[in-house]
Structure 1
């Protein structure tokens, strides 16, 4: 078994096209602490949206934070952006970073069907 599997080949060829960031209010943080920072947080996130760095943004249904889809080339760039925001500077939020890219199984549609046989 010296040939790489399809999953290994697809993973090696994947490209990051953005980073999903899940923001969660820290367990010991009060609503008042968050709301005191929100005016400046909102202004800065709107600037990032207008500047093309935030592609999409959503509120979490559980009310504990937000989800951003950033237009960045890697997690390091996304981390730098998020750490510059007021809620992060005040250490009120936890952040989870997930690099995303094209759905790899779609490449199977582009494969040469003759070669697969």
Structure 2
């Protein structure tokens, strides 16, 4: 996941000058399967992208290739995501599941 935030002191006009190229490239990344989902931030200060990448380094390379990053208009925060680990307990056989639950309770 990448949280994109417009840098302090950057005007809306500066952002909008770059947006046509940014939009074209993000749509192409979506069509190529690199951007799975994207959202506008509720506060209007940027966007959130869910990328399909091997690791944070690849996500960084993808995002740094976009026009807003090249123009140094935005900051990025990268967060690696994966499956929710406790769901494995639900898929385990009942005996293992109970052992897992006991193990979790022992840590409290």
- Could you state the TM-score of these two structures normalised by the residue count of structure 1? 0.80
Match of 1:110 in 2: 91
Alignment root-mean-square deviation, CA: 1.1
Count of residues paired in the alignment: 98
Shift of 1:113: 2.9
Gaps of 5+ in 1: 1-19
State how 1:63-74 maps to structure 2 within 5 Å: 63-74=44-55
**Pair 1:87-2:90 in alignment:** no
Match of 2:8 in 1: 27
Q: Distance in 1 between matches of 2:95 and 2:15?
A: 58
**Pair 1:39-2:24 in alignment:** no
Q: Distance in 2 between matches of 1:72 and 1:105?
A: 23
- Could you state the TM-score of these two structures normalised by the residue count of structure 2? 0.87
Relative contact order, higher structure (CA 8 A, sep 6+): 1
Higher helix share: 2
Q: Distance in 2 between matches of 1:112 and 1:51?
A: 38
Q: Which 4+ stretches in 1 moved above 2 angstroms?
A: 110-115
